Amino acid sequence: MKRRLAAVTVVAAAMAGVAHAAVERIQVVERVPFAPGVSFGDYGAYEKIRAVAYFALDPKAAANASIVDLKHAPRDKRGRVLFSSEFVLLRPAGAQPTTLLYDVNNRGNIAILGQVNGRSPALNDPTTAADAGDGFLMRHGFSLLFSAWTWDVAPSAPPVSGAAPRPLVFTPPVAKGVKGRVQNEFTVNAPTDIVTYAGMRGLTYEPATPNDPHAQLTERAKPDDARRPIARSAWHFVEPELKGGPGRVQLEGGFKPDTIYELTYVAKDPYVTGAGLAGIRDLLSYLRDHPFEGAPVPRNVLMFGISQSGRLIGRMMHDGLNVDEGGKLVFSGAYLQVPGAGGSAGFNSRFAQPTRHPSMMEEHDYPADAFPFTSMPTRDPATGKTASTLDKARDKQGNLPKLFYANTSTEFWNRGASLIATTPDGASDVAPADNVRIYGFMGAQHYVGRSKTRAPFTACVSTSDHYLPMRALIVALDDWTSKGKQPPASAYPNFADGTLTTVADYRAIFPQGFGLTPPQQNLREPRLDFGRRYTAQGIADIVPPKHGDDFETRVPVPDADGNDKGGVRLVELQAPLGTHTGWNLRAADTGFAWATSRFDGSFVPFARTEAERVAAGDPRPSLEARYANRDAYAAAVKAAAGRQVAAGLLLEEDVERTMRENLGLYDRILARDPADSGCGYLFSSGLFVPGPG
């Protein structure tokens, strides 16, 4: 029966009976059935609990020492910093032990349901059977937890009719009276007079002085070019389009593509963004140890994050915020999906803007990744420092969480993914620590492609489905951390097996004559100097920062078809229908034709017949030469799927889906007119898959 609870308060400190009580109380505001009428296998019906957790942090506690500006936040009479966070919990209604899987929301949005279950919840509010997708996570016995942790989520337009979206947005403590210089880079894909200067779908800190006469706007063509000032009289600030939204600027003559604009000014009252990380830590710590609303404590606690959210997990471990005030790990394992170089910067500094992150062409000055990058210690030749990403991640007993890092080919081009397994100079391999596995989903892009147009890029997007091995790895991580069952071996491009190389070498090897020309460069992680206080205190004194020599990043080696070698060989690469790359060049009319897409790869099918191949000058053997007929192709897919199952990278329950997806694409390629340059043939209707994260 549906129940709505106005307010149920749990006093955590009294129940815990210990000195460490960062969660003071939890107020349940809603408790209703989730996906009414659906039974998820052995775990039966599920319920949804929406609640608010209230936190109290002691700025003097050693466990909170890494939280930047916490000491500058307002305190109560007991000297504690108070804040709260909304959370949503999906769990079996039968009050049985489950694995608690915390999904780090991405810009306020629940991400795991879209990519793993195949359906993003309507209005970001999981409610109906449709919101459960195929029910994968529920059928496998996971309780799913989502909470607000970041503030810089731009408001969406109010609905014309019906319910409004419900993003999980955090209101952090504020370091009142603190001022500092803030930098905002932005670009446009088409000429426009007015533009928002915040990050992707985000907010920024606005000027401390409205319409600041001393604010500076500059332009340049490439990240390393000298900045050209634009006269202050030629532009002015404009009110936000939506109340509470990001500010805007208007420029005489308009903003143009192919130009990087940068707006800097003095801001004030920075948020204590690290409190959002501490809130995750303390909520997990509390739920790990306390029965909640009639259910027992979880049998296991895991974290999961996609893109920005995966990088946040990296930052938590970098700062030791995966260990609670009592010295215990708050999660036994974590899965960082497409985190690029791992996320050891950003998220916890003064005037941090978590939404921002570097791409090939912009925001090279924003601290998203920094040394150290590897789970085993390496030496930075520029500074002489030796460190690892896990130096502060051990609990008081010396234990570390077990970790999966999984990147696609796109992260090797656009997010420095090679650095998590090489020395900072990109010269040699660094094996992962014993508690870490690394996977590279070769031929895949940041998220599974669904675009039916080339714009704003030059090629159709990649069709590889790496969400299927993700499902297998989530189950494997649970088994590794709760049962001691060994997970699939690491599989990623490396020097030892000859599958990692330079961009110049990639370009020399890549086949020519079928419509794809590789980029001239990939994203090389910048070495940033924000001043002497930044590393220890998170306070930038140099904005924009000074640049040292970039960290060296490498890319996978292509085979004769242009498909990446090494790593996890997805079914799409074992039984290929074309060339899948991790890069896609921008179209000239949107500017920056030399740069790659932030998130998208490319796909070009093989010619259907040898006659078509010869006529087109395509060096790659045709489908006709590779597979005698549809049955032969089906046999190749089935064999590839079997190898993936044996390797622990595909579940038996997903073999039928991979057969259906690949055979469907085969049929659509054969039915397509080669003269049609559109991309619509690539995709059939199916479960909704979200865009970039």
> 685: pLDDT confidence band, cut at 50, 70 and 90?
low
Say if residue 5's pLDDT is above 80.
no
Q: How far apart are CA 436 and CA 333, in angstroms?
A: 10
> 686: pLDDT confidence band, cut at 50, 70 and 90?
low
Q: How far apart are CA 107 and CA 309, in angstroms?
A: 8
pLDDT in tens, 212-242: 999 999 999 999 999 999 999 999 999 999 9
> 688: pLDDT confidence band, cut at 50, 70 and 90?
very low
Q: What is the pLDDT of residue 649?
A: 98
Q: What is the pLDDT of residue 21?
A: 62
Q: What is the pLDDT of residue 687?
A: 44
Say if residue 10's pLDDT is above 60.
no
Distance set, CA 33 to CA 87, 127, 143, 538 (Å): 16, 8, 14, 43
Q: Count how many Cα atoms sit within 13 Å of the Cα of residue 337 in the half-sphere of its side chain.
A: 29
How many other β-carbons are positioned within 10 Å of the β-carbon of residue 221? Answer: 15
Give the predicted TM-score (pTM) of the model. 0.96
Q: How far apart are CA 6 and CA 688, in angstroms?
A: 34
Q: What is the pLDDT of residue 647?
A: 98
pLDDT in tens, 73-104: 999 999 999 999 999 999 999 989 999 999 99
- Rounded to 5°, the CA angle 429-431-437 comes to 130
**Average pLDDT for the chain:** 94
Say if residue 601's pLDDT is above 90.
yes
> 161: pLDDT confidence band, cut at 50, 70 and 90?
confident
Tokens of 95: 């009050």
DSSP string, 219-278: EESSTTSPPEEE-GGGEEEE--SSTT---EEEEEEEE-TT-EEEEEEEEE--B-THHHHH
Say if residue 689's pLDDT is above 80.
no
> 2: pLDDT confidence band, cut at 50, 70 and 90?
very low
pLDDT in tens, 368-426: 899 999 999 999 999 999 999 999 999 999 999 999 999 999 999 999 999 999 999 99
Q: What is the pLDDT of residue 89?
A: 98
pLDDT in tens, 271-297: 999 999 999 999 999 999 999 999 999
Count how many residues are written for the chain: 693
> 344: pLDDT confidence band, cut at 50, 70 and 90?
confident
User: Alpha-carbon torsion 489, 491, 495, 496, what sign?
Assistant: positive
Say if residue 121's pLDDT is above 80.
yes
